[in-house]
Structure 1
Amino acid sequence: MDYVNYNILVEKNLTVLANYNGSPTMKSKLELDELEKQELDYFITDLENPDAKIKEGRLKAIGIKLAKALFTKEIRDQFYLVQKKAGAKGVRIRLTVNHPKSRSYPWESLYLNHRYLALDEETPLTRFIPNGTFEKKEIRKPVKMLVVGAQPAKRGLPTVHVARDIKNIEDALNEHKENGTIHLDLIRIGTVPNVLDQFKKTQYNVFHFIGHGIFENGTGKLAFESPEGKYDPVDHVRMGQMLMNQREMGLVVLNACQGAATSTSDVLTGLAPELIKMRIVPSVIAMRYSITNQMANLFSREFYPNLLKKPIDQNLQSVRHTISVHPKSATADFLAPVLFLNAPDGVIFKPKLPSPPTPAPEKKIKEEVLKTPEESPPQKVKELPKLSAKCSDTIALLNSFIEDPSLTNDRKAWKGFRELIATVEQTSSEYEIEDECEELIEIRNRLGRLRRQRNEHRSAGRDELADKTEAVIQRNYSDSIHIIMRISARMPS
């Protein structure tokens, strides 16, 4: 199914911005009263408690409250209009939450128009992490997976049944191992050296971690084992360093199965997006709540074989739906898998084509004429800048301003944007990017006028007009990112 992207951004000050494909940006405020916030806190606590029984009525009530807060009338009307215009296409909801507390809310429970959005394949819901450096990972069957289980000896940590959980994955994927569509490697003693040794042997597409997540000093960490079996904390920085040279890695799954009740949602929902921001992987699925082993088995059996058949968000949406209607699933089990994504179209892998055969050297018919240095034409020295790095840097600057339109970010984005265009103008004919160059120059000229207008509004105390103009500036930068990504795709590696 094809999709139209609908973007919703919750800023650090709880301002909500929503738009699609160049549409006007709707603006509102995410507002919950103290009682609603308290209900959400209790609900999240119960979700993380495997012994708590959540009834359908309570789940639906939470979903309605969150939908009412996020989809105010203007945003809701625009969203329905997008659905109508999309026709046979679906509408992909790309939710970016920059407000720290709101990140932990169960957005996958959003209930709008008499249904859960996260269960309908026509409305895949993802936590979108803007990062212009995304590249689809090349993959050739079989899909190569590494599953790591860790159960360190640490006071206060309940038992993780690593052997049983790994066997669940093995059983779920056995048929696909036998027919050659999935290659599965297992590490039952999850130490960092064991993982690194395995990484030296194989380039993997999927990394699946089974174990605990722990909050220490305000930072989420995964509980690996030391060589002595003790607790070895791995935060997002160290995890990113471990994965850094896995060039074909497209997905990380962080799985806190039943028994890992100390894995709070803050740990995984905090650690997962950081791996994307570090440009390590384009997608992370965090199992933020404990689920039964049967549901973990169902997830593996339904999700992994379809990795190459569907966009990852559509695939996960289908899995959530299967979990929700399973006779032995708990009411809220479908909320467990949370997808953090950087791929604009949900596609993280592309087929890896075999290298073409090296052509045989042509026979020279004419005898080569030797020229003296004086007769030889001057060698053209290429001094073309490496555009791909400059494109990545500029995209990062523009994304920083879109997420946080501070004065500093504004100046950096504008300076970087103009410098990139100057470089593009110098090299447009060499790389055949004349059309993109013209588009960027047009946006640059428009942005120059918009920035002056915004500054004039600010100086005159017309803050509302200044905010509206700034939203248009952000939208122009967003359009520029897509153009820059087209340029980057044409750069020689």
Structure 2
Amino acid sequence: MVAVVMPSRQGSRVGAVMELEIGPGPEQDVFSVRVLHSVSGDEATGIIRLDLDELVARRPLVEATVLSSAVAARRILPATEAVLREVGERLFVATFDGAVGSAYRTSSAIAAERGADLQIALRITAPELATLPWESLFDPDAGVYLCRKEPLVRRVPAPHSPPALAVTPPLRILAMVASPRGLPMLDVEAERERLEDALRPELHDGRVYLEWLEEASWHAIHTKLLAGEWHVLHFVGHGTFDTEADEGLLAFVGQDGRADFVPANALADLLNEAEPSPRLGVLNSCQSGAASGSDLFSGTAAALAHSGIRAVAAMQFSISDAAAIAFARGFYASLAYGRGVDEAVRSGRIGILGLGRGTLEWVTPMLYLRGDDPYIFSISRTPNPTAAPAEPGLKRKPEPAPESEPVAEPKPAAEPVSAPEFAGAVKSVSRHLPLWKRPITWVASVLVGALGIAITNQLVPMFSGLFARVVEQGPAVRVVSVEPLPGHGEFAFERGTEISEEFLTELNALPESEFQPDWLFSHDAVKIGSPTTRIVLEGTQSEVPVRILDMQPEVECGDPLDGSVFTYPSAGSENAIRIDFDLDRPDAPGLYRSETGALEGPYFPNHTITLERAEQVVMLVSASTQQGDCKYRLRLDILGGDDRSSIVVPPRDADPLHVTAPLDHAAYEAVYLGGVDCYSVFRRASPTYFQEGYEPPCQEPPPGY
């Protein structure tokens, strides 16, 4: 027996490993357990006695319990947790008994003295045990679930595993959403938004690059894998387990648009076609972590790890949208900061815990790790300066900002009270101050503090002349139209808003998903998550072109809306300049979205937009929040010849744009499903939605509800 201490890594707390091999025993329902590695160096073996048939039969109840916790009322200890805790405690007591338990507690104590976490690695060699939810292991003496306290992995033995891949940021993620016909429809655009919202800080900072595969087909994935290097494959879609063939399946999109069920071993061959092959697979699909009772490596996740993929994070149960977002946020942020994939999965679990005390979905993710080392990437600290956004293929291509022309801080333009036609002019002051607190003489105030009264008195007339010229000419850019695009996803009303039968009758009389979102929008519904606004701008100057140098949001936020919520599937969008803002980080630059749908680097100041007189540009601007109910406008900094100015969109005399953060569905007064197959008749959500006795009208509810 050897004491295993993992190499110390930057930012890592994991410094030790305890690996257990759990295999067949001498008789039915009796299994052997052996400590392969531990920090204490103790040799230990034991016997596990389990009523396997009874535990396997309880798995559907465990899954229903975990999933129903997403909409359950919050209590100090939800009654539903008893089901999960009972199974977890039985597995722990049976496994960590006698000498094995002593080795675990000694190893845990040594790791704690070192200020490190102890990785629990399970090498399961009895196929019938692989189907059990080992992530629910519960220590009754300590009162903790192991996977929340320490990283827990399912170890796939390998004679050889490649070293950590050296990565200069960004970490490159190839993502896809597969929603074939004939299966419960996924909201493709909403799925994209959810992952992008989860990764937005890392995307803004250049630590992660995310590209979406437009067509989740075998051919499209094959082509993309051959075309470039990808570090992570992220799959969102449907998965299942074929009990007759005894293998896991993922539903790709076939040539006819229907499901093309790809077996795990074929998917492994496809990924190995890449050079180098992706080091990490993330499968956000139902039963992607499911295993066979007769073949250890027939499940999708296990098969990929066995075939050579270094690590596969998968879901052993269905998972709600909110939990999937929270997991992705914690998981990828941890990876981007250079932590091991085992720590990243635990970070994802902790992220799910933040959804509320009653949630049990932290038990759903599972990690298959090939080999011993969880550090599958060696990420340098500095993002790659050459990873610039691709040139957009747009009707009006933006021009690179000239090197000789500073664009970071445009000169402020005054807000002339006597010129109504120039009501869009904005002073260059902190956008976090209320309007009534913003000093009119900001420029003069700064100069007084820095240079003195005398210099200021000489400069003010010069600025006044500049402002007079701008007012006389009018704004260099005219706002032609500002059109919020409801599109898809979810819409919320304020609490207490009456949703009458007449309201629903009139709404249902419209085509299901074509006009209903627009109708809700016109009745003061607020888009949840990340609405898109179509903005058309036009140049007005004849002598010289006008240049748009920057765009930033002005934001005021309150608590998220928690009234009634309506849900819809996705809708398409036109080709235009697309910029995404994170309203929770109002000082962060807007990110450019390429034609492929990938969020790239900051749009400004890497590019400017040049407009001749009467020339127009179309911009699709998305703004997201995960924290509040936000009203916002967009400030555009403009250069027309030698004159700098700013306008806001929408103008001050118009209503601001509006978005509210998503909440757990249990937080709303009512949830209405609309535009999804037969769900054109809206139905109130029930707290027992996932529990026994609920009968959907004509199909299973969409994932996440």
More helix by share: 1
Q: Secondary structure at the match of 2:20?
A: strand
Aligned match of 1:192: 218
1:13-412 equivalent positions in 2, closer than 5 A = 13=25, 14-21=31-38, 23-33=41-51, 36-37=54-55, 40-46=58-64, 55-86=80-111, 87-88=113-114, 89-112=116-139, 113-120=142-149, 123-135=150-162, 136-154=164-182, 157-216=183-242, 217-244=245-272, 245-247=274-276, 249-256=278-285, 265-266=290-291, 270-279=299-308, 281-308=309-336, 309-327=338-356, 331-351=359-379
Aligned match of 1:6: 18
CA distance in 2 between counterparts of 1:34 and 1:240 reads 30
Q: Relative to structure 1, is the Cα distance of residues 330 and 132 closer, same or farther in structure 2, using a 3 angstrom cutoff?
A: farther
Query: Which amino acid counterpart does residue 58 of structure 2 have in structure 1?
Result: L
Q: Relative to structure 1, is the Cα distance of residues 346 and 34 closer, same or farther in structure 2, using a 3 angstrom cutoff?
A: closer
Deviation for aligned residue 1:33: 2.9
CA distance in 1 between counterparts of 2:259 and 2:375 reads 36
Q: Is the 8 A contact 1:137 1:348 kept in 2?
A: yes
Deviation for aligned residue 1:337: 0.9
Q: Secondary structure at the match of 2:34?
A: strand
Deviation for aligned residue 1:326: 2.3
CA distance in 1 between counterparts of 2:174 and 2:364 reads 21
Q: Secondary structure at the match of 2:291?
A: helix
Deviation for aligned residue 1:215: 2.5
CA distance in 2 between counterparts of 1:90 and 1:353 reads 23
Query: Which amino acid counterpart does residue 61 of structure 2 have in structure 1?
Result: F
CA RMSD of aligned residues (A): 2.7
Q: Secondary structure at the match of 2:206?
A: coil
CA distance in 1 between counterparts of 2:176 and 2:268 reads 16
Q: Relative to structure 1, is the Cα distance of residues 187 and 236 closer, same or farther in structure 2, using a 3 angstrom cutoff?
A: same
CA distance in 2 between counterparts of 1:137 and 1:264 reads 25
CA distance in 2 between counterparts of 1:214 and 1:117 reads 27
Rg comparison, structure with higher value: 2
Q: Is the 8 A contact 2:66 2:361 kept in 1?
A: no
TM-score (norm 2): 0.46
What are the ranges of 5 or more consecutive residues in structure 1 without an aligned counterpart? Answer: 355-493
Q: Is the 8 A contact 2:289 2:366 kept in 1?
A: no
Deviation for aligned residue 1:90: 2.3
Q: Secondary structure at the match of 2:173?
A: strand
Q: Secondary structure at the match of 2:24?
A: coil
Q: Is the 8 A contact 1:40 1:105 kept in 2?
A: no
CA distance in 1 between counterparts of 2:56 and 2:122 reads 23
Give a deviation string over 1:380-411, Cα, whole Å, max 9, x none: xxxxxxxxxxxxxxxxxxxxxxxxxxxxxxxx
Query: Which amino acid counterpart does residue 251 of structure 1 have in structure 2?
Result: L
Q: Relative to structure 1, is the Cα distance of residues 225 and 34 closer, same or farther in structure 2, using a 3 angstrom cutoff?
A: closer
Deviation for aligned residue 1:200: 2.6
Q: Is the 8 A contact 1:255 1:288 kept in 2?
A: no
Give a deviation string over 1:240-270, Cα, whole Å, max 9, x none: 22111241522101112xxx5x768337982
Count of matched residue pairs: 344
Deviation for aligned residue 1:25: 3.3
CA distance in 1 between counterparts of 2:249 and 2:66 reads 17
Deviation for aligned residue 1:48: 7.6
Give a deviation string over 1:301-329, Cα, whole Å, max 9, x none: 222122142111112212212312422x7
CA distance in 2 between counterparts of 1:84 and 1:232 reads 50
Q: Relative to structure 1, is the Cα distance of residues 224 and 48 closer, same or farther in structure 2, using a 3 angstrom cutoff?
A: farther
Q: Is the 8 A contact 1:150 1:188 kept in 2?
A: no
Q: Secondary structure at the match of 1:11?
A: strand
Q: Is the 8 A contact 1:134 1:342 kept in 2?
A: yes
Q: Relative to structure 1, is the Cα distance of residues 143 and 10 closer, same or farther in structure 2, using a 3 angstrom cutoff?
A: same
Q: Relative to structure 1, is the Cα distance of residues 152 and 215 closer, same or farther in structure 2, using a 3 angstrom cutoff?
A: same
